[in-house]
Amino acid sequence: MISENSEHIICPNCGEKFDGNFDFCPHCGQKNKPLSLHFKYFINEFLSGSFNLDSKIFRTLELLILHPGKLTEEFIAGKRMAYIPPVRLYLIISLVYFTLLSFLSYGYFKFTDSPEKSNDQQVVFGFDEQDTVKVDVPGVMDTLMIAGSDSTQVNSQIKKILKRMSTKEGRAEFNERLPKYISVGMFVLMPLTALIFYLMFFKNTFYIQHLVFVLHLQSAMFILFIVFNLVELGIDNDWVDGINVLLFLFLLLIWIKKFYGLKWFKSIWKILVFLFFYGLLFLLFLVVVAGINVWFI
98 contacts 179 by C-beta, under 8 angstroms: yes
pLDDT confidence of residue 222:
93
Q: pLDDT 10s digit of each residue in the chain, 297 long?
A: 344 444 778 888 888 888 878 888 888 878 787 766 666 666 666 655 555 545 788 889 999 999 999 999 999 998 888 899 999 999 999 988 888 877 775 444 444 444 444 444 444 444 444 444 444 444 444 444 444 444 444 456 556 666 666 666 666 666 666 667 777 777 888 999 999 999 999 888 899 999 999 999 999 999 998 988 888 777 766 777 788 888 989 999 999 999 999 999 999 999 999 999 999 998 888 787 777 766 665
pLDDT confidence of residue 253:
94
Q: Count of domains in the chain?
A: 3
The DSSP secondary structure of 252-283, one letter per residue, reads: HHHHHHHHHT--HHHHHHHHHHHHHHHHHHHH
Claim to verify: residue 93 and residue 212 sit in the same structural domain: yes
Interatomic CA distance for residues 227 and 279, integer angstroms = 23
Provide the domain limits for residue 132: 124-165
> Is 1 buried (19+), middle (13-18) or exposed (0-12) by CB count in 10 A?
exposed
Claim to verify: residue 73 and residue 211 sit in the same structural domain: yes
pLDDT confidence of residue 107:
43
Instruction: Out of 116, 132, 165, pick the residue that ends a domain.
Output: 165
pLDDT confidence of residue 146:
45
Claim to verify: residue 189 and residue 276 sit in the same structural domain: yes
pLDDT confidence of residue 33:
75
Interatomic CA distance for residues 179 and 289, integer angstroms = 10
Interatomic CA distance for residues 196 and 274, integer angstroms = 7
Claim to verify: residue 135 and residue 270 sit in the same structural domain: no
pLDDT confidence of residue 42:
63
Q: How many CB atoms lie within 10 A of CB 213?
A: 27
pLDDT confidence of residue 64:
94
Claim to verify: residue 239 and residue 133 sit in the same structural domain: no
pLDDT confidence of residue 163:
62
Q: How far is CA 22 from CA 14, 45, 49, in A?
A: 15, 20, 21
Claim to verify: residue 253 and residue 137 sit in the same structural domain: no
pLDDT confidence of residue 170:
65
pLDDT confidence of residue 161:
61
pLDDT confidence of residue 74:
93
